[in-house]
Structure 1
Amino acid sequence: MCGRVVTTSSPEELCEYVAAGDVIDALEGPDHNVAPSGLLPVAWVDDQADSGRVLGVARWGLVPSWATDPAVGLRLFNARAETVAVKPSFRAAFRRRRCLVLIDGFYEWGPGVAGSPKQPWFVRRVDGSPLALAGLWESRFDDVRTLRTCTVVTVPANADLTPVHHRMPAVVAENDWDRWLDPATSVRHTLEEVLVPSPDGLLVLHPVDRRVNDARQKGRELTVPVPLEASADRMGSQEALW
C-alpha cells in the first residue's frame, strides 16, 4: 500500500529528470505529507504535444471515465499490479493512459516497539533522486475545468521493504519509461514486465515521528530520522486515515 508521499523536487528538476518537453501545470511548492485527494506531479505522453512527454499534476485517486461521482477516487489511490489489467476501474487507463508519478519519497507504516502503535517509516532512493512510480491517469471535465486524476500501481515488497510492509509502489526503471508511457504499447505481458519489485538496495528507510499520521502536518521535519524509542505519538492515540 502507498498512501502518503513526499514531493519536493521543482518542476524544472522533474522536467530534466524525465526529459519532458512541456509543463502543463505544476505544484505550488514542496509538500512533505501528500495524502490521497492531494496533488501529485505526473509525466505522460501527449500525442497532441510537439514534445511528446509532458509534465503536469493530477489529483491522487483515480476517477474512471464512467464514474458519476468523483468521490470514488478516494478509494482508488492504489491499483494492484496483479489485477490492474482486468479490474473495471483501471483496465481502460492501463491500456492507454499510463504515467509516471514523480515523488521524492513515501511513508509506510510497520510494526512498532512492543505495545506501541504502528511505526511510520520514510522511504527514499539511496541516491536521493526522485522515484518514478508506475501510475495510471484519467481526465474529465468538471464544470469549467479539466480534472486529471491518477493512481499508483503497487507490487509485492522487495527485501528493503518487507520488514515494514508486504506491498510497495512499483518503481519504473529508467530504461522502461518509454515502454510504460507509450500509448501504443498495448500487449499486456509487455506492460506487466515493468511492474516488478524494485531491485534490493535501491531504497533506504528510517523511522520518523508519528506526527506524520496527521495529514495536516506538512513540514520537512516529518522526514527527519528519529530513534524508535523516541518516536512517541505526540498526537495521542489518534491515527489519521491513510
Structure 2
Amino acid sequence: MPFSTERGEGFENRLAELLADKLGKGLSYSWYPQATGFVRNTLAAHKCDVIMGVPQGDDLVQVTNPYYRTAYALVFKQGQGLEGVDTLGDPRLKGKRIGIVAGTPPGNNMAANGLMAHAKPYPLVIDTRVDSSAAAMMHDLATGEIDAGILWGPMAGYYARRTNPAVTVVSLVKETTGPRLIYRIAMGVRYSDQEWKRQLNRTIQESQPAINKLLLSFGVPLLDDSDRAITEDSIAK
C-alpha cells in the first residue's frame, strides 16, 4: 500500500476501476515484480494494455498525459522543533537522525547538506507483499528511533494518516540543487497504441476532479504546476 494490492485496496486499483467504468471496459490485472524486465514481460508481452503510475519521461513506454503531480516529502513529529522546515538545507536538520530509502533521489540532497552522517537507511528493493520500508520508517519516527524521514510523497501521506503521534508531511518543492524531487505521474501504453492513448487522455481530463479526490482520500500530497498544494477546498472551487 498505498498503490495496489491483489485485493484491490490501493489507489491505483481504485483509479483503474474508475477509468474502466468510464471507458465501458472490463478490468483485470497482470502482476509482475517492479524490476528488470517489467515492461518487457507485461505491456510488451500483451499481458496488459496499460501500466499505472509511470513517471512522465519514462521512455520504455508511451506515456499518457499525467494524472497527478507530487514530490518527495519530509516527515516529522509535531512539537519536535522542526515546524516550518521546508528544505533539506534548513540548519535545524543538522545533527538529526533522518530516515532515507537507500538509492532514492533525496539522498543526494541530504549528502549535499551534510545530513548523511546520522542518516538511517531503509532498503529500496523489498517484497512489498510482506514488507514496507515506508511503514518501518514511520514506525521508527513514532517511537523516536529517528527524528525525521524522507519518503516518496504518496507513501508519506498515506502512512502519516496512520501514525500516532501526529506527523507533519512537507513536500520538498524548494530544493535548488541535486536531482529533481517533483514528478508528474502518468500511465504507460505501447508506442503502437495511439488511439488507446488518446482515449485515456480524454478520460483523464474528464475525470480529473474525481481522480484528485480519490488521491487525496489516500493522503497523496498533490501539487499544481506552481507547486501549490491541491486540497479538497481547491477542487471544489
Q: TM-score range by the shorter chain?
A: under 0.3
Larger Rg: 2
TM-score when normalising by structure 2 = 0.23
Greater share of residues in helix = 2
Indicate the structure whose relative CO is greater, using CA pairs within 8 Å and at least 6 residues apart. 2
Greater share of residues in strand = 1
